[in-house]
Structure 1
């Protein structure tokens, strides 16, 4: 089949690579370049821990895919430092891990995190860790190779039993189209009768210097009385912190500059009060546009030759998603599938 993949973030590239491995004729299009926008940055958290046993099981499948990708890349793409979960979701996520038969430990205040005071009780996802996002992008870009082109896609239309993808450089005809365009998915999917969430928000993650050495666990914290955060070692000597602010502060209508300012102030306050060995001076920031209100999991929508995928925190599922989407696009699937 001739397949057009719209979007070259980690999900689009993973699907394009899987389609190429299955000997399909693939063209992957993105308006900027590989691993831009929502997939940008040096690192991401990998975790098995989720609120449902089904997602834990899917994350285990994805972890096996990361091992295969690491072998093919000739370097570890996930650093096995564990992922600590503390606060409101701890009990529910522990129950889901137990139900799925996934390995975990219960730990206390001596956890390997740069906190002034660690949580009294936390879930340690021993299979979790930190994804080398830059290494992943390099690996997938090599795999996709000449099948990628920088092009703006402005219109999709159904043509007979196939599809036509319109770009300023000309139209591309395909048997099937995968829409994996992140924040741009909803506007493209709507052109072909597919609804995906349309409410967007701003999100910014900040990186700080740390004097802490040794392997530090990634950390998802929703402890009472303070801002919910996710944190991890982005690279040696660098600690990344993302804060989950009230929607009003990061709503699309607030504007990127104001949302970034609010996030920066909130995260800096958090670092000053709650972290130890982390210097409260921002060294770097990673901005992305997110779909507001989505939790963990991913969703597929299909109509005719078009398949759209959307969700939040999808990076960790990328190897699984690539294979799943390649099958969905070429073999067909239900019109609506939710993995939550």
Structure 2
């Protein structure tokens, strides 16, 4: 006879799926609530960059642990989850982050000369400035990861929107969704833009900034290159600072986005709707200048919400309200496996890792 779920996870993006899977690995009965399709919200799209480079050495160590889990999952599920072609970063900021990587150790990253850069990133226009190559970086196969984890969880995934979370006097937590009511020993909320709303219901005010973002996909001109690295461009040489780009499976398409976002109100309405169109236009113009190997007319658009924290665009933290944990942050896909395991430990009495507590401000540049 199946056991009643002990822990509820709210949100079926990559963090929620990783947390639920880590609980299953521990032998814990779990139910994961997702209002739509798993991975259909802030985890949408086919690709993300896996990179070790960050401004906070603690986050570098955290992401390094996550890379090992990605490799373990790829072997376990029998599918490529991170491409083998590495990640490039160009501009002075790349060298600053390389210094952080060297401080932490255990990451195969190095400066790269223009000729090798052109070989590893054949879509890029001529560039001779500072550049760093992260050998174990690469494109996360996001759809493959979402599908593998969802399949592994099976009937533990419930298609239902959670409308309330209510810690009870007996130490349990009641969760009401549009289709049921159930109680759990612990609840982990990693529901993207809905996390702050659910936190308010238990008296927590999370310092989450809600914004919107656009990512465009472009077709490669001619034959797809045999290898092509992910790219972060902080150089400004091609008219933009804060560009990221990553290949899709097969390398025939390449996704490009600007790190800038568009502000929205708490209710999700745009402060300036035209600003989203401006990001679209700027990304196309950047591709025309910097990536001549791509057709500058996009073939796909991804629009998604961004929930970031005030101390860093890479910041992440977990708030505790008794037996309920609330996870918030941005750029979480790459560290989701290790984050999920840390949340699973906390949800089963192992305690929350100190670096994930809000006062630790994980992701903040260290002096």
Give the TM-score taking structure 2 as reference length.
0.87
- Asked whether 1:296 is paired with 2:314, we answer yes
Kept in 1: contact 2:10–2:187 (CA 8 A): yes
- Asked whether 1:222 is paired with 2:240, we answer no
Shift of 1:17: 0.8
- Asked whether 1:283 is paired with 2:311, we answer no
What residue number does 1:208 align with?
218
Gaps of 5+ in 1: none
Kept in 2: contact 1:5–1:28 (CA 8 A): yes
Shift of 1:159: 0.9
What residue number does 1:63 align with?
67
What residue number does 1:305 align with?
323
Shift of 1:193: 2.3
- Asked whether 1:321 is paired with 2:336, we answer no
Aligned pairs (5 A) from 1:12-51: 12-51=16-55
Distance in 2 of aligned mates of 1:37 and 1:27: 19
Distance in 1 of aligned mates of 2:145 and 2:271: 30
Kept in 2: contact 1:300–1:307 (CA 8 A): yes
Query: How many residues end up aligned between the 2 structures?
Result: 337
Secondary structure of 1:316's partner?
Answer: coil
Question: Structure 1 residues 199-208 or 111-120, which shifts more?
Answer: 111-120
Kept in 1: contact 2:199–2:205 (CA 8 A): yes
Aligned pairs (5 A) from 1:221-240: 221-224=233-236, 226-227=239-240, 228-235=242-249, 236-240=251-255
Distance in 2 of aligned mates of 1:71 and 1:115: 32
Kept in 2: contact 1:37–1:287 (CA 8 A): no
Kept in 2: contact 1:15–1:325 (CA 8 A): yes
Kept in 1: contact 2:92–2:130 (CA 8 A): no
What residue number does 1:52 align with?
56
Secondary structure of 2:248's partner?
Answer: strand
Shift of 1:119: 4.2
Distance in 2 of aligned mates of 1:257 and 1:25: 43
Kept in 2: contact 1:192–1:306 (CA 8 A): no
Shift of 1:209: 0.6
What residue number does 1:170 align with?
180
Distance in 1 of aligned mates of 2:58 and 2:88: 20
- Asked whether 1:339 is paired with 2:362, we answer yes
Gaps of 5+ in 2: none
Shift of 1:11: 0.4
Distance in 2 of aligned mates of 1:66 and 1:33: 22
